[in-house]
Every structure is written in structure tokens, then in C-alpha cells.
Chains A and B, each alone.
Chain A
Amino acid sequence: MPDTLLEVHQLKKVYETASGPVEAIGDISFDMRQGELVCIVGPSGCGKTTLLKCIAGLLKPTAGTIRLADRPVTGPPESMALVFQEYGRSLYPWLTVRGNVELPLRHQKMDAAQRSRLVDDALEAVGLEHAGRSYPWQLSGGMQQRVAIARAVAYHPEVLIMDEPFAAVDAQTRADLEDLVRALHIERGMSILFVTHDIDESVYLGERVIVLSTSPTWVQDDIAIDLAPERDQITTRALPRFTELRTHVYEQIQRAKRGEAVRPQA
């Protein structure tokens, strides 16, 4: 595969804690192509966040390899943005919303006007154009989450990793943000790895849905979502194929929860 972006090979992660080792990830392997939008679903506590942190170069795997654009990941890669699950704790409380979105752009080669426009565009994209001068702690959870998304969007990464980014937002905003993610993927060709709890969301957004098993975790299923790239909140979700796919994902998650999965043979 010439256009492979990400290769996760037999990844294993064991946390050493005071009360003994915790095996968060047993053995995960999958590939992701350049420009692909892949959703990851799995039971709570199965190691999704751990997986993303390993891919983002923030955690060292216990075993296995991760390669990004044909290079082993040893630290946070260039041109990658990560939206943390703990969105509130990822915003700098001493900076305004604008300051937070702008900070990562500081070292990119651009003049102040251009930087300011990127921030404006990103804030508008998440519907927070009026909140720029507020501080994160003055905003609701859902708004904080959108600030974290705006920061990632303004950064213009080639790879975007999002960890349950819409958990705190209301249904209408959530639909808008889902379409924003689709647009980033289609219009900018961004490669996106998206973790969600929501089965419908994974099918609506993804070109592939990877279902993880319970801990010790491996890939339970890898489902191609063969829906047209142009998606629409109303018509796409009403398609019979959409229903089939979500049923399939749902069944896989149920099986994962019951522990009825076969560990892949390496």
C-alpha cells in the first residue's frame, strides 16, 4: 500500500500503577490510508484514549510499533492535532478563547493578520465567533469542547485525532460539528481518526469503523462504510444501508461487551 499513513502493529500498553500493572491494550493492529476518516468505537475503558495517546506520541507503547508516514512515532509528530477527551483541562485558563486558539499558531510562518484570520475562521466554524474574548472557565462544557475543536481546526493539521469530541454538546450543535468534520475531510483532505461512543455518529462520519473489544483490547471488527462521500444529516441517516451498517456495528459492540470475540492470530 503506497499511500498508507498510519500503521499500528501489535500495539500493547500496560500501565504500571501503584496497585500493579494494568493492561489497557492487549494487541491492536490496523492501518489507515492517507486522507481516510476512520472511526473507533469500543466499550468504555477499553483503551481508546490510550491508543490515541500512543499514536500521538504522548505515551510510549509497552510493545509493538506505530509508524506514521513511514516513520516510527517517537514523539508528537508534526502537523498532527489532538482534541483531548478532557477538553476542559486541555484549555489554558489564563488565556482567552482567542489566546487558546492562537497559541499553537505562534510558531507557524505567517503574519499577524493571517493568523488572526485563521482564528476567526476556526471560531466561526464552531459557532463561537462571539466568545473570543471570554475565558474558557466562563463557558459551558459544550462551548469549551468547541474551543478545543477550533484550536485543532485553526492549526490546519494533516492528521486530526479526536477523542469523543462531541460528548458535551447539544444535539443540534453536534450535527453541525459532524458536518464540519466531514467538510474538513472532504475539502481539505484531512486524515481523521475519530473516537466516539455513538454508533450512529461513527457510521455517519466514517469511511471505516473499527470496533475494539473489551480489555485486554484488540480489533474486534473493521467495517468499511460504503456510503457515498457526500453525506447529509437527514437523507444519509434515512438510507436502508445506513441502518444495516449501524445494526452491524451495534451487534459487534454487543459481542465485544459480552466478550465473544476471537483474538486475531498474529
Chain B
Amino acid sequence: MRLTSIGRQLLMTIALPVILLALWWVVSADNTSPFWPSLQKILQAFPDTWTSDRVMEDIVPSLARLALGYALALLVGVGLGTVIGLSRPVRAFLEPALEFLRAIPPPVIIPVIALFVGYSGWTSKIIAIALGCLWPILLNTVEGVRGLDEVLVDTARSYRFRRPTYLYQVVLRGSSPQVATGARQALSIGVIMMVISELFAADNGLGAAIVQAQRAFAIPEMWTGIILLGVIGFLLSLIFRLAEWRALAWYRGLRRSERGT
């Protein structure tokens, strides 16, 4: 019963991608337009485009910058979000400004960052990714910390938990469902920022590789880069969901029991 339901779920999950790929394959098969090469051609270009050298030069730096920027945003976002969420005066003071900053589309901060550290190099890209990821993490953390049940907080106070215990065991774990929501949104923003930050300087990285291929009229190669980005984005969100599934098992159980099933 359980195995078959997992099997059915799997089938449901991969059915549409498989159908779309098949459709793409068939429709593009005898395409003569140079801008829409056939899927077959694109796939054939894959091994030559993404040699292990290119993986080391483009994909690894891209992912490393994403990881660093994302980690920085998590650290700062959760830390700052906790401070803001715990203090009503700080919140009242900062919240309007935060809402305004969040409304600014993250890509426009890249030229601003470039004024200080230039377009090329790692620093500007990591800062751009981190700033893009920061807002959803920060604002969701504030929301989660503020929403902590006051009885849980009173319990911690009456048993005189030490500060670190209180911050980790009560505040952080209690707000973790909201933090995860923010982190999930931030991950997709992070991938976008990773690519965009590379488009400006176009020195190395996945985004740069796509632009370079396009400028060189290597259209099938350009398409391989786009497909690769899609796959990477998909895998990252899969990893995220797995981690979330494990870490927030209690939250699912709680929600299920509250709904009374």
C-alpha cells in the first residue's frame, strides 16, 4: 500500500517533465532555425561543452559563490531577524525601512555594489547573492520569532533557561518553520542572483558561459548552459526539501495533529 503510493507519487512527479522533453524532442527534430536547434543537437553538444575543465572553471566557482553568499545571508538574516523579532521597540523602528528595502528588486543592487568593488572578482558577486537572499530570510525570521507562543516563552523564563539554551532550543527551533520558508524563497533568488551577477562582468561562471556562447553564436552550447542551470536549480531545491523534510518532521506532525487527522 505504502510502496505503491510512493511509486504513484514518483510517476506523477516525473510524468510531466518526461512528456515535455519528448514533445521538445519531436517538435524540434527537423527544425532548421539556428536559434532553435533540435534537442538532439543540444544534447550532442553537451559533452564537448561541459568538459571537466569547464566544470572546474565555470560551474564550481558559480556554486561556491552561491554557497558562500547564501550562507552569509542565512547567518546575518537569522541573527539579525532574531534580534529584531525579540524586541518590540527595535521592530517598530526598523520594520518600515525593511519593508521598503525588501521591495527593491535585488538585481538593481549589483551596479551599486560594482561602484565599490567592481563587477569582476568574487566579492561583488558574493555580496550580490547575499543581499538578494537576505530579505526573505530576515523578514521570515522576524515573523517566526515574533510568532513564538508566549506560553513557551514564559515556560523558558520560569525555568530560567540560560541565554544560549533559550536562543537555540526555544527561539531558533520555534521559528525554524518560518526560517525554512524564508530560506526556500532565498534559494531561488540566490540562483537568480548567481546568474545575473555573472552576466555583468561575464568573466567566469555559468551565467558568463551562457552569454559568451550567445555572443559567439554557439547556440546549441548556449542552450546546454540553460538546461544545466535548470537542472542545478532543481537539484538544489530537491536537496533543500530533503533537509527540510528531516528537520521539520515535528512541524508536519504538529500540523497534522492540529487538523485532527
Contacts and interface: CB of A to CB of B under 8 A. Distances in A.
A89 interface: yes
Contacts of A95: 169
Interface in A84-124: 84, 86, 89-90, 92-95, 103-104, 106-107
A81 B173 CA distance: 23
Interface string B132-160: 00000000000000000101101101111
B158 A135 contact: no
Contacts of B257: 137-138
B253 A58 contact: no
A167 to B, nearest CB: 15
A103 B169 contact: yes
Interface residues of A, number: 26
Nearest to A161: B158
A131 interface: no
B162 interface: yes
Contact of A90 (B152, B174, B254): B152
B152 A94 contact: no
B162 A58 contact: no
Nearest to A151: B159
Contact of A107 (B151, B162, B173): B162
Contact of B160 (A78, A84, A89): A78
A104 B151 contact: no
B197 interface: no
B176 interface: yes
Given A94-B173, A94-B176, A135 B253 contact: yes
A90 B155 contact: yes
B170 interface: yes
Contacts of A92: 152, 169-170, 173-174
B167 to A, nearest CB: 13
A179 to B, nearest CB: 25
B250 interface: yes
B165 A106 contact: yes
B23 to A, nearest CB: 45
A155 B159 contact: yes
A215 to B, nearest CB: 22
A92 B152 CA distance: 7
A78 B162 CA distance: 12
The 5 closest A-B pairs by CB, nearest first: A104-B159, A89-B151, A137-B257, A94-B250, A82-B158
Given A90-B152, A106-B161, A135-B253, 13 more contacts: A53-B154, A76-B160, A81-B158, A84-B155, A92-B169, A92-B173, A103-B159, A103-B169, A106-B165, A135-B250, A135-B254, A137-B250, A137-B254
